[in-house]
Amino acid sequence: MQLLTAGKSNVTALAFAPTGTGLVAVCVNHVPLWWDLPAAGSPVPLTDKAVYSCGSFAFSPDASVVSWIADRQRVERDRRAGAARVVAAGPDSLVSDQIVCGPDARLVVLTAESRDEFHLRALAPGAGGGWAVAWHVSLAGITGWGLAGSPRSERFFVWEVPLTREGPARRFVARSALSGEVLAETPAPLNYAGGFRAKSDGSALVAFKNSSLYYWQPGEELERVRTGTLTHYRDLAFHPDGHHLLTGNNDTTARLIDTRTWQVVRQYTWAVGQLGAVAISPDGQLAAAGGAKGRVVVWDLDI
């Protein structure tokens, strides 16, 4: 077990590199930090500009490039060059809301051109180290309140919410990361949900509302799940085996849930305050949880 410090405020996001050799953590009003694992010495700031909140961390396959959303702009850090820059996802008028990694090193980005005009774009690596738009879908009167995907899957998920009461019903949608087309959908009449995560093979989506989980496998109905945990969920992370889910709750305990039975099979209580972020490494060997006052714990995950 290692205890790291990412700042002085609450930890809001954690992400393991796809190689499993690095961890990114960020706190409120702080810059995101990178640790080589196992951590030894000081972390590397990914930028010199602190913002109130940033997240949606995405990586190149070799983890040499890290990108994230800060102040509704997509920031990209080339770790080899040691430089960060703002990278547009389309026309200059666009702002970026969320990013997920897709297959073939592509990124799927949710963007907004105005208050009521939202788009999905896939960015594929282009010539000279830049990006090219592989496809573009206008959501036409709909916004995406949640985005989830995996670099191991050709499918990603969106929670599509109408911008007006007269619009279509709220729904969870599975789309192709290769074309943007709709593959499956299910009604999702929730007034709030958070923590959107996809299984690594793209076979299911999970989200939370307060102390309930919502689980959807395309082709089946949306399932509401209660595990007996009364505290509210704050973050979720799938294990790569697809059968276990790590949760950060509004207390000091991280819980590992077996998604076949929805029973808590492991509990990890750390002296880092209320947990605001959790993550599992791509090989499933490590887990991380972030709490209050910038404290992050990394441990060997035994399943």
Asked if residue 93 has pLDDT above 60, the reply is no
Strands 182-187 and 83-86: unpaired
Give percent of the chain above pLDDT 70: 96
Q: Which pLDDT score, from 0 to 100, does residue 92 have?
A: 57
Mean pLDDT of 215-238: 94
d(CA 53, CA 27): 8
Tens-digit pLDDT profile for residues 243-256: 999 999 989 999 99
In the chain, the N- to C-terminal Cα span, in Å, equals 16
Alpha carbon distance 206, 204 (integer Å): 7
- Measured in whole angstroms, the distance separating CA 42 from the mean position of its chain's CA atoms is 25
The pLDDT value recorded for residue 104 is 87
pLDDT at 131: 84
- Cβ pair 25, 9 in contact under 8 A: no
C-alpha 109/C-alpha 184 separation (Å) is 19
Give the pLDDT band (50/70/90) at residue 51.
confident
Prior bond of 38 cis (ω within 30°): yes
Strand 205-209 and strand 212-216: the pairing is antiparallel
Give all domains of the chain, ordered by start, each with its CATH number.
Answer: 2-300 (2.130.10.10)
- 158, 223, 235, 244, 256 from 213: Cα distances, Å: 16, 8, 11, 13, 13
Please determine, for residue 87, whether its predicted confidence score (pLDDT) is greater than 90. no
Tell me the mean pLDDT in the region 96-106.
86
Band (94; pLDDT cuts 50, 70, 90): low
